[in-house]
Structure 1
Amino acid sequence: MIASMGVTRNQHITVVTGGARGIGAAVCTRLAADGHDVVIGFRAAEDRAEAVAEAVRAAGARAVTVRMDTADPDDVDRLFDAAAELGPVTGLVNNAGIVGPVGRLVDLPVDELPRVYAVNVVGVLLCARRAARDMLGRGGVIVNISSGAATLGSPNEYVHYAGSKAAVDAITVGLAKELGPDGIRVNCVAPGTIWTEIHADPERPAKVAERVPLGRAGEPEEIAGAVAWLLSDDASYTTGAILRVAGGM
């Protein structure tokens, strides 16, 4: 489904994948407040995507919602084609991601692992590829969402997820070097444990808090602030950075 409303035309047009909830939703509303029109990619939660779109419009920006799967090349093209209807795309936030099964690797069902890498790695590559193609000759900004797990490893919980996010870190560094001459900045935000619905155990953030130097889990809005800075002109000389927002972990 594609839906758009609003008359305000902003300089920035930013695509956010996984924008219907959690960090993605917080990013969308923060960017709208900062003057971005927002294109919200979502996979299943249509009602929540529309609620985020309404919040974007209430901030005076335009919003488009697109049901899509980041691991599907045709869906990715459809997402960016919808964004192009608003004007030239200036930004991408590669936020869509999944954890997959939780537990020791030796105990995990093999058939669930490819989907984690399809979304977390292939999806990031496909969206970055299309965004870069659209930005060539004009410049732009790509912000990938990684995880503190990429360096901590997440033993006994989701080593497979940590590995997929380590790949996102490597993709960020490589693309920053590849696309820098084209005026396209590529950076990454690596959140720690954040209060979102991605956790299989809803109380996990509270349980992890005692190990965090700042003594608490983070809020989605704190990640959104980091993303907004990387998309802003204040970060104009920042590329290839992996900004850890993890409370000291």
Structure 2
Amino acid sequence: MTEVVLVTGGSRGIGAAVCRRLAKDGCAVVVNYAANRDAADALVAEMTSAGGIARAVQGDVQNEADVLKMFDVADSLGTLVGLVNNAGVVDQSQRLDEMSLERLTRMFSINVIGSFLCAREAVRRMSTRHGGKGGGIVNLGSAASKLGSPGQYVDYAAAKGAIDTMTVGLAKEVADEGIRVNAVRPGIIDTEIHASGGLPERVGDLAPTLPMKRAGTADEVANAIIWLLSEDASYTTGAILDVSGGRATLP
């Protein structure tokens, strides 16, 4: 039986680091991407050249038809045992009283509804209630859900707060169906997401203010995700693990 894990937003940053680890551990990996086909294809080529099984699939997680397509690809490779709900967006720094309906709709559609749709399809395949053999779901939250991100991304922080709640609720809902649901809440991580939010220098600017005086890396977050997916975390569900170097957890 080929075990398959689907990683949304898997072509870059934290998602790509997770994909590399999964392939190294012998899982078939579905690398979902929204727009950057070159990055996804390069990652798949890297993993397959090392002997892994991987497929790239374009899809927007807020689009139900695209989500179904991603899971069809996963089904074609083997048995789904894991989902990493990593796809997400930020936007330009703004106060709430400056935010448009278009921005808010996009923020919650991708970061919240997209995660719900993907989790739904994963449960339909992995739950013993549906004839599955169990598995794991790891959601990507953010330290922003505890900090609120005033004056920058209150909408993003609120969306990630919804992910915290969804993680706990879904974990309890499927705990006796062979599925563990957990979340990782990164802090300031050195990836491209800051540039997409209009603050390319954010990591360098904030690093001296952090408890550990540095940003985290995508690999450090991936390590936590891989552990939560693994049998080493077999009695862990409904957990929200901060990988933030102390940000939002220490006074």
**TM-score range relative to shorter protein:** over 0.9
Alpha carbons 2:184, 2:243 under 8 Å: kept: yes
The DSSP-based 3-state class of the residue aligned with 2:138 is strand
Q: Which residue pairs with 1:215 in the alignment?
A: 213
2:167 counterpart letter in structure 1: T
Cα distance in 2 for partners of 1:59, 1:205 equals: 32
Distance 1:224 1:29 in 2: 9
Aligned to 1:242: 240
TM-score (norm 1): 0.94
Measured against aligned partners, the alpha-carbon deviations of 1:213-240 in whole angstroms (never above 9, x if no partner) come to 0101111111111111001110000000
Correspondence for 1:33: 24
The separation in 2 between residues aligned to 1:95 and 1:132, in whole angstroms, is 17
In the alignment, which residue of structure 1 is the partner of 2:73?
82
The whole-number CA distance in structure 2 between the counterparts of 1:207 and 1:45 is: 27
The answer to whether structure 1 residue 70 and structure 2 residue 54 are counterparts is: no
After TM superposition, where is structure 1 displaced by more than 4 Å over at least 4 residues in a row? Answer: none
Q: 1:148 — aligned with what?
A: 143
Q: How many Å separate the matches in 1 of 2:145 and 2:50?
A: 34
CA RMSD of aligned residues (A): 1.1
8 Å contact kept, 1:100–1:113 = no
**Number of the residue aligned with 1:51:** 42
In structure 2, give the amino acid aligned to 1:234: D
Q: Can you list the C-alpha shifts for 1:30-52, whole angstroms capped at 9, x where unaligned?
A: 11112221001111000000111
One-letter identity of the residue aligned with 1:142: I
CA distance in 2 between counterparts of 1:240 and 1:12 reads 23
Residues in 1 aligned to 2:9 and 2:113: alpha-carbon distance in whole angstroms: 15
Deviations 1:85-143 (A, max 9, x none): 01110000000000123121112233211001000000000000000001122101000
In structure 1, the residue matched to 2:111 is: 120
Structure 2 distance, partners of 1:135, 1:42, is: 22
Q: Deviations over 1:140-159 (max 9, x none)?
A: 10000000101111111101
Unmatched segments (≥5 aa) in structure 1: 1-9
**Aligned AA (1:206):** G
Q: Percent identity?
A: 51
Do the aligned partners of 2:10 and 2:86 also contact (CA within 8 Å) in 1?
Answer: yes
Of stretches 55-64 and 140-149 in structure 1, the one that deviates more from structure 2 is 55-64
The one-letter code sitting in structure 1 at the alignment partner of 2:23 is A
What CA distance in whole angstroms lies between the structure 2 residues aligned with 1:230 and 1:51? 26
1:21 and 2:12 aligned: yes
- Larger deviation: 25-34 or 153-162? 25-34
1:162 aligns with 2:157: yes
Shifted more, 126-135 versus 34-43: the winner is: 34-43
Greater displacement, 192-201 / 14-23: 192-201
Unmatched segments (≥5 aa) in structure 2: none
Q: Give, as a single letter, the amino acid of the residue that structure 2 aligns with 1:245.
A: V
